[in-house]
Amino acid sequence: MDKLIIANWKMNPKTSKEAGELFLAIKEGIKSIKELEIVICPPFLWLKEFAKEAHSIKIGGQNCHWEAGGAFTGEISAQMLSAAGADYVILGHSERRHFLGETDDIINSKIKAALKAKLRPILCVGENKGEEMHIVLETQLMGALKDLSINQIKNLVIAYEPVWAVFSDEASSPDSALSANLFIKKILTKLYSRFLADRTPVVYGGSVNAKNAVDYILKSQMQGLLVGGASLESAEFSKIIQNVSKA
């Protein structure tokens, strides 16, 4: 499978004009890249418009609700994302787990909803400072994948994002990211099979930039990257993509 580079714009940029310009600049910067799958996850507001203009770029949501519809003020369903042109959805991001109280049970329901809507879930897992990486990863994976069959999760993407490295200047060392990657594969093998573990992309996220991006691909054996802050600077993001495409 192609390497995956996913941009999480979070609640940025501030205006539609800036968002449109950023999207166009990224498109321009990566137009010669064929061998990578690029996914941009903008705020919901711009998703439909971008999906129409995306060409080879894929579009993703940053969250979805577990129900298909109903009295859930401020929420958006997986079906709505899919109908708007999204192919992916980020679920279980640490900012939602920690600031909005998302539990593994909630994330499990959201993954089920996303799969039903034919979206590809990007499940974020990772330990906080002072937590034991293995315990956190095993707990989060078992909780998020509860009652999901091997057949259902064949399109899953897992993003290893140590919480302390997200939106900070402190990226994980490629060695620790490698051990997290191998441990995630071990848990997937235990829960499902070696075959499924080998074909499930694990990507790294947490203070990725154009300088460190390739290390996570080569040294940590990651299948791709989830990029927050650096995806808001078109030149830096395009450089990350170009560097990974040459790696």
Q: Which positions are annotated as active-site residues?
A: 93, 161
> DSSP H helical segments within the chain, as ranges?
16-29, 44-53, 78-83, 94-99, 104-116, 133-144, 174-191, 194-199, 213-218, 234-246
The residue (of 147 and 169) whose beta carbon lies closer to ligand PEP is 169
Which residue has the closest beta carbon to ligand PEP? 228
Task: Name the helix (H) or strand (E) containing 227.
Answer: strand 224-227
Q: How far is the CB of 94 from ligand PEP (least distance, A)?
A: 8
Cβ neighbours, 10 Å, residue 73 = 4
**In angstroms, rounded to a whole number, what is the distance separating the alpha carbons of residues 143 and 112?**
12
Exactly one of 3, 4, 5, 8 binds ligand PEP (CB under 6 A); that residue is: 8
The one-letter amino acid code at 54 reads A
Told to check if 22 binds ligand PEP by CB under 6 A, we report no
In the numeric block, the tokens 């203070």 are attached to 207
Taking the least distance from each CB to ligand PEP, the nearer of 21 and 170 is: 170
Q: Which residue, 79 or 240, has its beta carbon nearer to ligand PEP?
A: 240
Q: What's the min distance (Å) between Cβ of 8 and ligand PEP?
A: 4
d(CA 37, CA 57): 7
Contacts of 233 (CB under 8 A, 6+ apart): none
Site for ligand PEP in 189-228 (CB under 6 A): 205-208, 226-228
User: Which positions from 151 through 190 interact with ligand PEP, judged by CB under 6 A?
Assistant: 161, 166-167
The distance of closest approach from Cβ of residue 150 to ligand PEP in the complex, given in angstroms and rounded to an integer, is 27
Contact between 12 and 3 under an 8 Å Cβ cutoff? The reply is no
Shortest reach from residue 84's CB to ligand PEP, in Å: 21
Give the footprint of ligand PEP on this chain (CB under 6 A): 8, 10, 161, 166-167, 205-208, 226-230
